[in-house]
Amino acid sequence: MAEGASGYKNLIDIHCHVLPGIDDGPSDWQQSLEMARAAVDHGISTIISTPHWIKGTSWQPSADTVLNKISELTELLSKEKIDLHILPGMEIGIIENLAELIKSGQVLTLAGSSYVLIEIPYISLPFGLEEIIFEIVSAGYMPVLAHPERNKELHAEPERILDLIDRGALAQITTGSLCGDWGDGAKNCSEQFAKMEAIFSVASDGHSAVSRPPDMQSGLKALENLVGKQKVAKILSNSEKIIRKS
């Protein structure tokens, strides 16, 4: 990662919905390519593709489905001369036996690492979340909580994120939250997380080229204004750790 005159460069986006026809991201390959071009324009060089995986819904792709779609997209990117690297992952809805699903390979970790992206719902924190985190950590994995700043319970008590972190969880913030794209509650909560040094990583949570683009620049500038360039660089380095499996 570096910062140039036009913003941050060589960014790694660890949470992005770029595969077509698999969740609420792009509906076809053309839209996926439009997202890819937008990502490159916004300084992103690597995306971990994280389609939703929610038990008992139509958003429950197999690992093979995700890997095959990534292979297809990689081939298309090469043909279109779009310089973007796509790695596998999932955004996994919380269920009780999640640690077993991870160990069995039924759900994908981030880029084949020990980090796994877990979706935090918007209203309340799931019952038994602490136990699920414990089981995942005990199995040798590191749960990365997706967009906890959007959760209304954490809006009211942002310091509760520290208890989850103490139990082994890590917090991934959506960059748009820092700009107010997800409302005042998410903005305020993400700012509190920043001040508490509770942010492990940031990502776009992109879903399209236009309405929810893979763009982290404005959010990174907002974060920089809160904590300074050095701490932003440290947060971005954590995304590098994930893809290096370290």
CATH number of the domain where residue 159 is located: 3.20.20.140
| Number of domains composing the chain | 1
Owning domain of residue 82 = 2-243
Checking if the pLDDT of 3 tops 60, the result is no
Checking if the pLDDT of 11 tops 70, the result is yes
How confident is the prediction for the chain on average, in pLDDT?
Answer: 96
Asked if 221 and 191 touch (Cβ cutoff 8 Å), the reply is no
Largest Cα–Cα separation, the chain: 49
If residue 76 lies in a helix (H) or strand (E), which one and from where to where?
helix 63-79
pLDDT of residue 135: 98
Model confidence pLDDT, tens digit, residues 110-127: 999 999 999 999 999 999
Across the range 41-62, mean pLDDT stands at 97
pLDDT of residue 5: 37
Contacts of 192 (CB under 8 A, 6+ apart): 158, 159
pLDDT of residue 246: 55
As a whole number of angstroms, the distance between CA 49 and CA 246 comes to: 19
